[in-house]
Structure 1
């Protein structure tokens, strides 16, 4: 079984990717999407989102990172995939699942699930543009507002040349509301020859194995579950038996704060800590208490003096 770490726009970026892969259990990661419009992006745009390109497309713990791109123009997508490949990308992943309204209004992400033929053209163009040694993969949802075209979309990705696909088992309209329809993933993987990776509502070891049983997939992708329980991948693989102690999580939170000293503005820094504490609250009662302590704080200096100062004793 492979476990892939999903991106989460605005939280699970390269900083948190580094921390979670260091904790362990992940076989590979996918970056947050790089938006492709009608231009050839400069290399610094790729490095900004995927700085791991400077280290053989791997995190410091040696976990490979795929570069994810999002857009609707096959030629422009292919040209930018070429740039990513030239920078040493481990793989190219294409986003057909983002449910964000701003993305969908611009004919990106999940909006393309209404156009299987265009999905095929995009994957085919990207696959044709990068060396065969670089895998091209894709992520999709079950549809935009229905499952009417689900199998057509999946087949379009396979026919376009995708090596494997990740299926988030909800439509765009479903958003992130439970449940995830893992039985639909089973239908997709039964209709394709390529590998299908299951994604959606995997919060625990029990969820992971129930998802694998229903979907009949061999591999899973986790995102929110990984942020809520940073040891989840290790627990699923049976490497450890218990989640991390809260004292360990405090050290990790402090490490994450330190990684944001460069590149993240003050208010965004405090926002990301609150966001991560909110997710950790699913697993840790201590996170609920700490979230209440800092939820009204916006200035980073105040956050550091009222909350992070106590972490210094854990160094």
Structure 2
């Protein structure tokens, strides 16, 4: 059973909304399943200098299986990380995820209730931070259009990136799975104050009617299939991206792609998370 779409997209920012939703919803994979993008992050990490990550934080895991998959992936989490913590802002889903995985994962894996904007971790705590769609939720009240973002949304996005940057160890990596296209999202990563080098890859998912969980989207026909492109952002702490030429004043985007770069319509909920959707 799945909770209905809220009346206002800003409700996605409320822990109460997620608590109620997770009481009845058992699973939902935003932006595709782990295996859709796992080969990309395995290759990225295996080609990176240094040992595999030994301390891992999964942020905003929800009722996805991604956190458990990351913890069990020897090519991502070092074959048995010293610590892999799976978190979400909803106490309901954290408890359900922990109970569902009890006995099936290493004792080094833990769960915690965590607000991604105010993380209770010390500086330089993690070698790897992974999130899928959680950063996108911070933009649901994005503003009139992508070129005129809501200042409050920008503040939230930078609060999150600042927390990720703070808690990453030197040479640590933030991996963000998103439907936000690079000409918008890179403006955030490349802002002054962050010392990381950002790379981007993309992957596609195929689904009936365009829904990432196999549902038929509004207007779709049973048996039809659609392909959707999503993006993987890698931000490795310890340098500045050679392409970080974007200028920002007072938190506003002042430069970027000026053509129509919006996505096609996604499934009913992914579309509501589209950058630029406002109440």
Q: TM-score by structure 1 length?
A: 0.29
The higher-RCO structure (CA 8 Å, 6+ apart) is 2
Q: Larger radius of gyration, structure 1 or 2? A: 1
Between Structure 1 and Structure 2, which shows a larger proportion of strand residues?
2
Between Structure 1 and Structure 2, which shows a larger proportion of helix residues?
1
